[in-house]
Amino acid sequence: MRSAHGTRRLPLGAWVRDAGGASDAPQETVVEGATVAARALADRFPRTPAATAASAATLFAGCSYQWGGVTPWGADCSGFVQAVYRLHGVELPRDAWQQALEGDDAGSAIDALAPGDLLFFSDRDDLRITHVGVALGESRMAHVSLGRGGFAVERLDDARDAYAARLVRQLRATRRVV
């Protein structure tokens, strides 16, 4: 966003207040990206599993891993999930272990998960949830991870990929929240 005060980067989902033509309000211009009126968010980002999965697969492409981050410039796994679902009108807690308590069980068969289902993983002896991703269908999952350096789409049925095989071994729960 550019104004008389310089250029600002706004995160995905940022709210910008329209000054409504007030004479002393600075003029601001969107330099890159798009704006959506708040009243049109539900049309642009419907609360459906397919739309949520599509957003998960595209909006954070190129995102680097940033612990505690929630934007396409840097996110962690649960911040990515929280931001994507918020765009679609679904409020989720901030941490993966908290997100794992939401929604309904989506079953244990990875190839049967619906787009938009959440997958939860643990690499700990106590099995506490430490990672989350979004099912895209066809055994694929979008997530942001330190191990992949940021955003990635995994084929969880690819036994030749050691990272994906480890994720499958660490899968602890699946949830359907949309």
**What's the CA gap between 69 and 90, in Å, rounded?**
18
Instruction: Please calculate the CA angle 88-59-4 and round it to the nearest 5 degrees.
Output: 95
Q: Which residues are catalytic?
A: 77, 131, 143
| Amino acid found at 60 | F
- Distance of alpha carbon 30 from the chain centroid: 23
Burial (0-12, 13-18, 19+ Cβ within 10 Å), 26: exposed
Cβ neighbors of 157 (< 8 A, separation 6 or more) are: 110, 111, 139, 164
Displacement of CA 74 from its chain's centroid (Å): 11
